[in-house]
Amino acid sequence: MPLVGLRELMAGAAAAGEGLGAFNVICLEHAEAIAAGAERAGRPAVLQLSQNAVRYHGGRLGPIAAAAREVARASTVDLALHLDHAQDRLLAGSAAGHGFGSLMFDASRLDADANVAATREVVEQAHRDGLFVEAELGAIGGKDGAHTPGVRTDPDEAAWFVDATGVDALAVAVGSSHAMTERTARVDVDLVARLAKAVPVPLVLHGSSGVDDASLVAAVRAGIVKVNIGTAVNVALTRAVRERLDADPALVDPRRYLGAGRDAMTAVVADALTLLSLS
């Protein structure tokens, strides 16, 4: 099945009142697990490669992007390929050439005016390349220790930012936090609803691994469309690999422990997509 654009998947999710699950790809097993989980749930999904993942692969986007792209093309469900949290403009500018249909440009570390200027430039180029662009105003907690968890996106500022930059989707700070291993984040659902009314583009929730099931459903019902999940998948991978190696200290064949990790990730993806489809 050919790759599907993020715009199409988000429009379909928004029209159905459902959440679209987006999952981080770090290695090939992640991509395979996301595709398998989506097929098990019978739901579309997004394979995301972040700038940090590209850095892990020696700064080379091509090989891991090609692997994720081919996994998506072989899938029986609709999958999108998305470049996530790109802070480097050169990396963002290379997305189209590597088969990405969308990217998230993250200039949230800059002040508001500089964020707008940088984001607008990236949006203009990305739109010329036919890409859908997500961006972020304000800060979502837990990213490189730079932001406090109490940060919240102001609806009026969000509307101004979208108008000034021309972005196609907006990641908002509403209480979630990146890299959480416990599901204790408190999403401000009322703020989500206010943002959804104020902003004319779909909303994205980052740091969703730290949000419990009921709160995720409530956030989607209030207006969140794309739901980013990374840490929960990695927790499942690490737990399964550790258990497999602990059970057999003599094990050296990586297929036998990475396979267990891939299976564990598949289950997390399938469960998350099923939950989001019930929103």
CATH, residue 31: 3.20.20.70
58 within domain boundaries: yes
State residue 1's pLDDT score: 59
Q: Are 106 and 87 in contact (CB under 8 A)?
A: yes
- The residue whose two tokens read 């999952």 is 23
111 by Cβ neighbours in 10 Å (0-12 / 13-18 / 19+) ranks as exposed
Annotated catalytic residue: which of 84, 106, 168, 188?
A: 84
- Per residue in 62-90, pLDDT (tens digit) is 999 999 999 999 999 999 999 999 999 99
79 within domain boundaries: yes
- Per residue in 89-111, pLDDT (tens digit) is 999 999 999 999 999 999 988 88
96 within domain boundaries: yes
Q: Are 93 and 75 in contact (CB under 8 A)?
A: no
- The beta-strand segments (E) located in 39-78 are 45-50
State residue 206's pLDDT score: 87
- Report the C-alpha gap between 205 and 223 in whole angstroms: 10
Low-confidence ranges of the chain (pLDDT < 50): 140-148, 181
State residue 112's pLDDT score: 81
Q: Are 92 and 106 in contact (CB under 8 A)?
A: no
When divided into structural domains, the chain yields a total of: 1
The parent domain of residue 55 ranges over: 6-277
269 within domain boundaries: yes
β-partners of residue 203 are 170, 224
State residue 181's pLDDT score: 47
1 within domain boundaries: no
13 within domain boundaries: yes
Clarify whether 84 is annotated catalytic: yes
State residue 141's pLDDT score: 43
DSSP-derived secondary structure for 22-51? EEE-SSHHHHHHHHHHHHHHT--EEEEEEH
- Closest to 10 measured CA to CA, from 126, 97, 134, 108: 134
Take residue 67 and report the two structure tokens written for it. 């692997």
